[in-house]
Amino acid sequence: MIRNVVLAKLTTGYDAAEVAAIQEGLRNLDCPGTVRYTVGTDAGLRDGNWDFVIVADFEDVAAYRGYDEDAAHNELRARLAPFVDQIARAQFDIP
């Protein structure tokens, strides 16, 4: 299984309603091979945390690549891009 983790620091004054709509769109993606998909906003429990997070598990590398190339996913990614100051990503194998 492949776990994908994405963290984003959003720009000051980002459009919260648009980001919420993007998150809802991400939650509704239906990419084959997705095992679990979680997206949310930082709960604000510590200073310095990143604002936006995705944690997603995929059956295998092919399923992850399908998600990464999915047209609906990339449309949502493009909508989010203007609000992103920094982004960090990692994919790793879950035995």
Do strands 2-10 and 52-58 pair parallel, antiparallel, or not at all (unpaired)?
A: antiparallel
The pLDDT assigned to 44 comes to: 94
| Token digits of residue 17 | 């309603």
State pLDDT tens for residues 25-76. 999 999 999 999 999 999 999 999 999 999 999 999 999 999 999 999 999 9
Domain topology for 2-93: Alpha-Beta Plaits (3.30.70)
Give the span between the Cα atoms of 57 and 44, in whole angstroms: 24
Give the span between the Cα atoms of 25 and 10, in whole angstroms: 18
The mean pLDDT of 80-85, rounded to a whole number, is 98
Residue ranges covered by each domain of the chain = 2-93
Helix (H) or strand (E) holding 38: strand 34-41
User: Residue for token digits 């990692």?
Assistant: 90
The pTM assigned to this predicted structure is: 0.92
Give the span between the Cα atoms of 62 and 60, in whole angstroms: 5
Amino acid in the structure at residue 41: T
